[in-house]
Amino acid sequence: MPARPAFNRRQSALLAEKLNIQIAELKGQLHAVEEAELKVTSSIQEEAKAGLKFATGAKAAGASISVDASSSSAKSRRDEIEEQYKRNKIDFLHRHILDYQELFGEMAVLSSGDSYLFLDDLYHIRRTDQPQLIDYFHRIAKDHALWLKIGTIRHRTDWYFHGDPPIGIKLGDDADQIDLDITLEKYSVAKEFLLKILTNFATECHVSVDDLMTNGAVDRLVLASGGVARDFLSVFRMSVDVARERTRASAQRGDRITAEDVNVAAGEYDGPKREEFKRDTLEDDQNLDSEFQVIRNFCLDEANSNCFLLSKDAKGSEVALIHELVDLKLLHLVRSRVTVSGRRGKIFEAYMLDLSQYAGARKRRGLEIIEFWKPGVQESLRKASLIYNIKSEAA
């Protein structure tokens, strides 16, 4: 039995009608031009009437004489007032803030609870406009029983602009940040979480994950995904196809998915990943792609390793690009604190180049694969040859 009573039908119908009206107005604004010069003409008409009436009379020898005279006049005046103003969509939105607040307030009364508004992929909005958009919805939500849930990429988002008045919201004060990704730094947690998802799907098909994959394939699949569930499942699906093709040609390595099958699938997955990279970065893709190619060449040609180190003290635009590449899953943070012999007092972060860049058709022979998730390999990350110097530091 439902724990809460049904919504009032009459109130629901009235609220739905108000929502439809507001939606129709917003659609009209969506298809209208951004700015338009408008003229409004209003007229005022005045009409005045004046009248005069008088009478006189006299009596004489039994007779009565009277005279009645009247006079009237009328005049009118018509004044026209012409106003000219510029209409734009932002002004329209600001003028209707109180209307939108009222709608969410009525939702709260009707449902006897709070409302939730989800804004996804905020990073597709220009960064200069992001604080204004967040500020607008925050003004609607604050003190009106409305919660905002905003999905975005951390290092491609500007939440706040310090001005007079300030625009946007401050993380920690106005909003809390929830990290939905599990990084490879918490490898055991990521592996357990991803395997649980895959096991649930396998159970639905009445199969066991152990019957599908070798232990080495599981670890390689976690690496290929970077801890992202969507990539984990996508590479797994492609690994199944690779294993099927392999067993048709030769069954010497068995019919389970192997680490080499995952390597091939990860290399093939580079295409879809790079397409997604272009969609997510839009006009910034050239700077990011250029920085990624430099780091890729450093790892494969200079350090001869799948990992590199970056000083925690490093600053500048290149560091910001590296953080964005981590958000975009082309680089992966694997250790947040690493010390290097001979670099006393210096703390480094360890990153891994995405598996797609040195697996499958791009396989590099002799490349040192640092298995950072295994015990006793800490020394492999402490080599000075892994330190990536950004241009400002190297100068």
**Architecture of domain 184-268 in this structure:** Orthogonal Bundle (1.10)
- In this prediction, residue 10 has a pLDDT band, given cuts at 50, 70 and 90, of very high
Q: What's the mean pLDDT in 77-95?
A: 74
Q: What's the mean pLDDT in 230-259?
A: 87
- In this prediction, residue 349 has a pLDDT band, given cuts at 50, 70 and 90, of very high
CA dist 131 and 160 (Å) reads 5
What's the pLDDT score for residue 297? 94
Domain segments of the chain as ranges: 9-37+85-168, 184-268, 280-394
Structure confidence by residue, pLDDT tens digits, 196-214: 999 999 999 999 999 999 9
pTM of the predicted model as reported, rounded to 2 decimal places: 0.72
- In this prediction, residue 395 has a pLDDT band, given cuts at 50, 70 and 90, of very low
- In this prediction, residue 360 has a pLDDT band, given cuts at 50, 70 and 90, of confident
What's the pLDDT score for residue 134? 94
Q: What's the mean pLDDT in 150-170?
A: 88
Q: What's the mean pLDDT in 28-55?
A: 67
What's the pLDDT score for residue 16? 94
CA dist 85 and 39 (Å) reads 7
pLDDT surpasses 80 at 280:
no
